[in-house]
Amino acid sequence: MDPFLFLFTIASLMMLYFGADFLISGALSTAARLKISEMVVSITLIAWATSVPELFVLSKAISIPNGSTIAYGTIIGSNFANLCLVLGLSIFIKFKLKFSFNFFAFKNFIPISIFSTLIFCLYGLNHFNDLVIKKLLSVLMIVAIILYVLRSNKETNNYLEQERKVFSKKRATIYVFIGVCLLYAGSEFLVMVGKELQNLGFAPSIIGSIYFALASSSPEIFTSLLAIFKYKKHDVVIGNVLGSNLANICIFGIVALIFGTESINLESKALYLLASAEIAIFGIFIIYYLKSNKEKIIHVHSIVGFLLFSVYYLFYKFL
Tell me the per-residue pLDDT of 155-183, one tens digit each, with 9 for 90 and over: 544 444 444 567 777 888 898 889 878 87
- Count CB atoms within 10 A of the CB of residue 35: 10
pLDDT at 42: 75
pLDDT at residue 95 above 70? Answer: no
pLDDT at residue 316 above 70? Answer: no
Instruction: Give the mean model confidence (pLDDT) for residues 123-139.
Output: 79
pLDDT at 175: 86
pLDDT at 160: 46
Instruction: Give the mean model confidence (pLDDT) for residues 245-267.
Output: 82
Tell me the per-residue pLDDT of 1-29, one tens digit each, with 9 for 90 and over: 567 777 877 888 788 778 777 877 787 77
List Cα–Cα distances, 280 to 44, 79, 272, 287, 304, in angstroms: 24, 14, 12, 10, 11
CA distance 44 to 27: 10
| Average pLDDT of the residues of the chain | 79
Contact 189, 203 (CB under 8 A): no
CA distance 226 to 77: 22
Domains and CATH numbers, the chain: 41-156+205-317 (1.20.1420.30)
pLDDT at 38: 63
List Cα–Cα distances, 263 to 134, 254, 255, in angstroms: 11, 17, 15
Provide the percentage of residues in the chain whose pLDDT is more than 70: 83
Provide the percentage of residues in the chain whose pLDDT is more than 90: 13
pLDDT at 50: 78
Instruction: Give the mean model confidence (pLDDT) for residues 179-195.
Output: 77
318 burial class (0-12, 13-18, 19+ CB within 10 angstroms)?
exposed
Tell me the per-residue pLDDT of 42-69, one tens digit each, with 9 for 90 and over: 777 778 877 877 777 777 777 777 777 8
